[in-house]
Structure 1
Amino acid sequence: MSRQPRAFRLDDPNVASGSVVVTDEPFDAIEAADAIVVPMAEKRRAPWLGVLISALSGLLVLGLGLAVEKLIVDLYAVAPWLGWVALALTALAVLAFLALIGREVRGIWREQAIERLRAAAVDALAVKDHKGAKAIVSELLNLYGSRASAVPGSARLMNAMEEIIDADDRLAMAERELLAPLDAQAKRAIAGAAKQVSLVTAVSPRAIVDVAFVIFAAVRLLRTLARIYGGRPGFFGFLRLAKAAFNHLAVTGGMAVGDSVLQQVLGLGLAARISAKLGEGVLNGLMTARFGLAALSVCRPLPFIKEEAPKIGDVAGELVSRTEAAAS
């Protein structure tokens, strides 16, 4: 059972005699923060499955290489210039393939760097690590160094680097100067996606159109949020981010039925007082907004420290207000 806080005067005889012992309690408030950091789930893939996929991929590459080599030889036998054209096209295809591989590797590396920053910030806040906080701010400045125009607070943060000592204040200033403008962009992107999903679902004639557009909007929203916060995911990097976003969504309570906006929609029965199609559109828009908030949490390089984590009402409150107006 936790003890209530108490105050002591320096001239108190109990303090002077040493009968009062002051102990530091662990800093665990960050663990209960709304924007909880959800680590990537470890891969639990059977080793033989990896061996099978690697072997089949190797055979496929060998077969493709032999087929291309035979094609080049046959074309060269027909006309030498055709063989040279085929060889040039093959070299161009190999170059494009290597460029795609490089982009995937860079995207995954950048995502991992953002995840490491977020985890390091949680650790630095927990133990009041001043040096660690300073290193995190330096990495953030490097991450957004090429986006000085989009993040105008970089100069102010660099000037105040040596003046701030406390780890919490240092990271809070980095959050305010670097991430607050990006948070505003992210919330606008989530609100726009939620409105589009709500509108398309309300007017689409078939359910398959609803499902297809919801998936398309979620994919586009996740890519947009990743780019806003400095990530550049390729195909596999995007799959990795999507998995992390769904993990975060599951950990933080799925649709967050305790949120006041969803209580307003489901509890007051607004969907029952208007057309079923419009109510379905509003609910799909809220679900898209909820996914967007989960994606924001996994794309953001810092946990929410002093800034308040956005909620459903911040990005999709307009949907409910319009629904209430239509119902009344």
Structure 2
Amino acid sequence: MANDPKKPRAFRLSDIAAEETGTREAPRAPVLIEPAKDPYEAEAEALLEPAPAEAEEAAIEIAQKKGLGRRWLLSWAGVFWSALSGLVLLGVGVWVNALIDDLFARAPALGVVGLVLAGLCVLALLVMGAREFAGVARQRRIAELHAGFAQAREADDYARARSLVAELGALYVARPETAQARDHLRELSHDIVDGRDLIDIAERTLVQPLDLVARREIAEAAKRVSVVTAIAPRAIIDVIFVAAQAVRLIRLISTIYGGRPGMIGFLKVLRSIGAHIAITGGMAAGDTLVQQVLGHGIAARLSAKLGEGVLNGMLTTRVGLSAMAVCRPMPYAAGKAPGVKDVAPFLFSKGEPKG
């Protein structure tokens, strides 16, 4: 039992220190450990390093082979349409010149009348072109305001927010119904020092009243479409009426928010609305909407024609909501973007549309 290794023993710390001094190795020189480099930092440094001359020449050669090194001002399609437009204009000019010459040959008075009419046509064309240009420029200004408000609110930039609010007030300076809201907003812009709060107040004061007008117009258009679809005897009448109401609604909503779309401006707005509908899922209104219309909807139970009217009303409402999102001078921040059920609840029940 005396040699049992499990039995506790007593020892001194000085004895252990003496044993370690006899077996300790000579001290080594300090080793410098180089810190490991972050792989992302190494990748960034590699990107910043200049590429070798051989690699740069190879890249230029590949770009030239693929046609990336040179840019054409016009493609062949552009050349074709430009040449065709020039030929059409030249033919019209020759025809007008020949017509006026013929009128002068018949009677000088007829020639003068033809010349005056031709001048009026040119003048009207110039005025229409100027209005188209002004409409496109105004719509671009609204789109820039929309993007600027989103960036300023995200960054909480007070200086940028105050400048944008001033531009927003100038956009509606010719609208008498916005005078009180603009004056109130001008006073608040000197007292509020937070950019995000200033943008939210501008949305509640100046833009949300316009939202109510746009929502009312959308609800009325959806009601007209649903009623006409339900009573129309031919499907072609439904298609024509729905398309006409959609065009009218887009123009009306653009005008409510300050736009003045001509033909070119309307096409640009229509393209933006199509892109917005494609991004947001088109007619995807959720499983609840589909069940209301197809499964549990009263209209779908009563008549297939009434069901088509509900669907066309939903389509019109969806187009109107996309037009609101595109034509609105600022994104939804202080309030939630409305849905189909918020604007046109009568499509799902017997309630009246909300204003």
Q: CA RMSD in A?
A: 1.7
2:98 corresponds in structure 1 to: 70
- What is the CA deviation profile of residues 66-99 of structure 1, one whole-angstrom value per residue up to 9, with x for unaligned ones? 1111211222122222211111111001001111
Q: 1:100 aligns with which of 120, 125, 128?
A: 128
- Whether the aligned pair in 2 keeps the contact of 1:245 and 1:291 (CA below 8 Å) is yes
| Counterpart-to-counterpart distance in 2, 1:267 and 1:166 | 49
| Counterpart-to-counterpart distance in 2, 1:188 and 1:116 | 26
- Whether the aligned pair in 1 keeps the contact of 2:300 and 2:307 (CA below 8 Å) is yes
- AA paired with 2:349? S
The ranges of structure 1 where at least 4 consecutive aligned residues each deviate by more than 3 angstroms after the TM superposition are 259-263, 269-272
2:146 corresponds in structure 1 to: 118
- Whether the aligned pair in 1 keeps the contact of 2:219 and 2:317 (CA below 8 Å) is yes
- Whether the aligned pair in 1 keeps the contact of 2:297 and 2:348 (CA below 8 Å) is no
Return 5+ residue gaps in structure 1 as ranges. Answer: 1-44, 324-328
TM-superposed CA distance for 1:262, in Å, is 4.0
TM-score of the two chains, using structure 2 as the length reference: 0.75
- Whether the aligned pair in 2 keeps the contact of 1:259 and 1:312 (CA below 8 Å) is no
What number of residue pairs does the alignment pair up? 279
| Counterpart-to-counterpart distance in 1, 2:142 and 2:342 | 25
Percentage identity across aligned positions? Answer: 49
SS at match of 1:160: helix
- Whether the aligned pair in 1 keeps the contact of 2:285 and 2:340 (CA below 8 Å) is no
Judge which range, 289-298 or 252-261, deviates more. 252-261
Q: 1:169 aligns with which of 190, 193, 197?
A: 197
Judge which range, 72-81 or 266-275, deviates more. 266-275
Matching of residue 51 in structure 1 with residue 71 in structure 2: no
Matching of residue 79 in structure 1 with residue 107 in structure 2: yes
TM-score of the two chains, using structure 1 as the length reference: 0.81
After TM superposition, the structure 1 = structure 2 runs for residues 127-276 of structure 1, keeping only pairs within 5 Å, are: 127-150=155-178, 152-258=180-286, 260-276=288-304
- AA paired with 1:285? G
2:48 corresponds in structure 1 to: none
TM-superposed CA distance for 1:266, in Å, is 3.1
- What is the CA deviation profile of residues 256-290 of structure 1, one whole-angstrom value per residue up to 9, with x for unaligned ones? 23164444223425454211111110111011111
| Counterpart-to-counterpart distance in 2, 1:206 and 1:185 | 32
| Counterpart-to-counterpart distance in 2, 1:71 and 1:249 | 49
Change in 2 beyond 3 A, CA 1:151/1:249? farther
TM-superposed CA distance for 1:322, in Å, is 2.8
Matching of residue 321 in structure 1 with residue 321 in structure 2: no
After TM superposition, the structure 1 = structure 2 runs for residues 264-303 of structure 1, keeping only pairs within 5 Å, are: 264-303=292-331
- Whether the aligned pair in 2 keeps the contact of 1:148 and 1:154 (CA below 8 Å) is no
- Whether the aligned pair in 2 keeps the contact of 1:191 and 1:289 (CA below 8 Å) is yes
- Whether the aligned pair in 1 keeps the contact of 2:178 and 2:206 (CA below 8 Å) is no
| Counterpart-to-counterpart distance in 1, 2:198 and 2:204 | 10
Return 5+ residue gaps in structure 2 as ranges. Answer: 1-72
| Counterpart-to-counterpart distance in 2, 1:238 and 1:179 | 21
Change in 2 beyond 3 A, CA 1:271/1:46? farther
2:50 corresponds in structure 1 to: none
- Whether the aligned pair in 2 keeps the contact of 1:194 and 1:285 (CA below 8 Å) is yes
- What is the CA deviation profile of residues 239-266 of structure 1, one whole-angstrom value per residue up to 9, with x for unaligned ones? 1111111111111111123164444223
TM-superposed CA distance for 1:151, in Å, is 5.3
TM-superposed CA distance for 1:54, in Å, is 1.1
- What is the CA deviation profile of residues 215-243 of structure 1, one whole-angstrom value per residue up to 9, with x for unaligned ones? 01100000010000000100111111111
| Counterpart-to-counterpart distance in 2, 1:169 and 1:130 | 9
TM-superposed CA distance for 1:123, in Å, is 1.0
- Whether the aligned pair in 2 keeps the contact of 1:76 and 1:83 (CA below 8 Å) is yes
- Whether the aligned pair in 2 keeps the contact of 1:164 and 1:170 (CA below 8 Å) is yes
| Counterpart-to-counterpart distance in 2, 1:75 and 1:234 | 35
| Counterpart-to-counterpart distance in 2, 1:179 and 1:247 | 23
Structure possessing the higher radius of gyration over alpha carbons: 2
| Counterpart-to-counterpart distance in 2, 1:315 and 1:259 | 18
| Counterpart-to-counterpart distance in 2, 1:208 and 1:78 | 48
